[in-house]
Structure 1
């Protein structure tokens, strides 16, 4: 199952980050999908955030209510420059734009995947 299509439906290209030009939107969504798949799905990504010190933020995305934002610096800290550089090269999205795009989309993706406030 394509997680991103499931989360965003047929409007996936329009649901992408403002930091990414529409020409690169699909690449960002594929990267986000790959990130979920290679990190143990939704539960694995949530666990990775919690273990990396972002427990309150990721729990706000899972729970019902407002999502705490994550910024591009925190995305860099969470994923590390080597991983982000690899993702940027793979997608053709500049590293800075990728960081901003992921900062915008990760909370939305996790929030939409947990509409009842549970994993």
Structure 2
């Protein structure tokens, strides 16, 4: 599944979560905002923030459940702000013309499912790259900290 499919699915989940609050929110605007929130410069899914959360206490077990093959653990809005950064969440909300709390409400359902879909067939990203050490090694090489 490519990023476009994942973002399209996230768009629907976001709007479903918000219900009437989503109002006349344009799907294309929401897809652009989600892509901006989760994409790297090359247009691929940016897991760097999520990978770094794997080493960060309580969020580690939550995020691991999303990229593993089991049930997705829920995340609170405050935890999501910690994971993605409050500035990123604010920019996302501003693009959509909604308040930050509304954005967080929609993202608490959409993001876990998007990350889960980015790791298809229950194959954990951790397994694909050699566990947490593999992920951290990959991230350090990517950011030039070898």
TM-score (norm 1): 0.75
TM-score (norm 2): 0.64
Which residue pairs with 2:61 in the alignment? 56
Q: CA RMSD in A?
A: 2.9
Deviations 1:66-118 (A, max 9, x none): 10001112122333433322222222122111011111111000011112322
Where structure 1 has 5 or more consecutive residues not aligned to the other structure, the ranges are none
Deviations 1:6-38 (A, max 9, x none): 2266x6653334125152262333222212213
Which residue pairs with 1:93 in the alignment? 98
Contact (CA 8 Å) 2:7, 2:34: kept in 1 or not? no
Larger radius of gyration: 2
Where structure 2 has 5 or more consecutive residues not aligned to the other structure, the ranges are 126-146
Which residue pairs with 1:31 in the alignment? 33
How far apart in 1 are the matches of 2:116 and 2:64?
9
